A and B are shown apart, each in its own frame.
Chain A
Amino acid sequence: MLKLNLQQRQPNTLNVDLECQPGELLALVGPSGAGKSTVLRCIAGLQSPQQGFIECHGTKWFDNIQSINRTPQQRRVGMVFQNYALFPHLSVRDNIQIALDVEQQRDKYSVEKLLEKVNLSGFEQRYPSQLSGGQQQRVAIARALARQPEVLLLDEPFSAVDKVTRRKLYLELNSLRQDLAMPMILVTHDLDEAAMLADQISVIHQGKTLQQGSPEQVLYHPNNTAVAKQVDARNIHSGILIEHEGQLKIQWHDYLFTVAEADRFTKNQQIHWTISPAKILLHQRVRPSKGVHENPVSGIIYNKMTLRGITTILMEIENTNGQQLQMDLPEHVANRNQLQLGETIAVSLLAEAIHLMKD
């Protein structure tokens, strides 16, 4: 297991706590300049924090109190750099061979085995300049694995390739990682990428880890509004918890919402709530569904757009001084219900889908 705590004040603030189990892929997400790559560089030994520790499989790689600071060569880290950092003067074979230790070099087929693993057999004699972005990434992964690393670090590995190649590489990484038993850390600013590939997501903002958890937990149950903003959560509003008919409910303007999570809070408490746009239920005209009586609200559609089969509706909720909600619907549902701009529609905010946050 990889476990670390990094503290730093200068030149950039760091206050990072992470844990990553063997075989687990942990995605570090956050905006540019949040300190994600710095964390990766600290793990690799390319940079040292002022305080803290980095422990891998029970061995300390860094500990400022015990004055331990292993060099990158002593850490057995497989690192895939953002622009792959392949050695331009070496062939694909030599790029991989250079990272093999003496024992592995005795096996004549080490390089071939690694290239087969990343679906790049037959490219041994090519030079990096003769490879596409996707092929370069595969060589970089093969080189990182050649070291038989105890930790695999991926620094925005998909940012240098086009969208079509990226989708292909996601699938390849996803199947490759099934065979890898070491902790893997992926740095990305793309939330969809993190949600698709990672077992755990850690949100970093201004050098501080805000929350670590499963993609479901982090994306739909952020600890606070700071995390919610970083994971691009929509529909963040504030309200107050009041007791109504023996049950805690959110009072939001003229509405009273039933919330499944209310038990964790106390009455008369000021709270923030959020609901995923995909979890807002449209009251369909053609075929009324169950749940229409659950937290119903109505509003006027003021914007509508469709992308890749998902229609996003922005609506202004009645009796809320212009508060807005965003709802995502399958395109065919939006079409079947003939949703038009300026039209008033009714929706339900499902009690199970409303997430509450203290701050």
Chain B
Amino acid sequence: METTRALIEVTGLTKSYDELLAADHLDFRVPAGMILGLLGPNGAGKTTSMRCMAGIIPPTEGRLLIGGCDLALDPMRVKQELAFVPDTPHLFEYLTVEEHLRFAGRVHQLHDVDERMNRLLEEFEIEDKRSHLPGALSRGMQQKVAICMAFLHDPQVIFLDEPLTGLDPLGIRRMKNSIVRRAKEQGAAIIVSSHQLELIEEICDEIYVLQKGKKVISGSLEFIHAELEGLPDDPTIEDIFFHLTEHPDREQSLS
């Protein structure tokens, strides 16, 4: 099998808080152009794992290579190429929408901020909100602003934590298209965490299921369907998810 360059390489990722093991020796690779879906029940460790990979918090153990660079050794270089969209956006309360994007542009030293900003604001239909403060925006619009900030510098590695929460149907469609386009056309490696299983089924190439910080199974849906026993003939992702999380001792790996 031809190995494509892995933009995200996670080896032995562990994060513990006193006795609580939020992530327990997780291993996976996400090559360029792939969308990995991170699934799991509440408290499974999805957000903690993503925060470790985005460099927000340091892992207790493990190695994180983003674009071939070690996050622990060269975080600045790694963070130039990655983006993180949180599940609940908390914007800067005294910056307008436009100022949020300009601020992100200055951080990433982008020279064509205006062009990128206008394109994203138009894509996510918040053009008319550019001079509004976050307090005047609905939750969905705040989410769109957070997404625009993340996509502004065309990152090669993107972490999306519940990206569709609060979006209207058009926003959801635009978001899905944007994720797929960035992966397939621009070659970004994307990890999406979501409880919306139909999103995962629709856009993800592979899934990685977590429960209580541990990996349950990983691989493509077809692979997982073939490996698991006890599933109905034409299982939905929902059937697979409940089957997996109800039997947490089962663990498979990619061949």
A and B, one complex? Answer: no
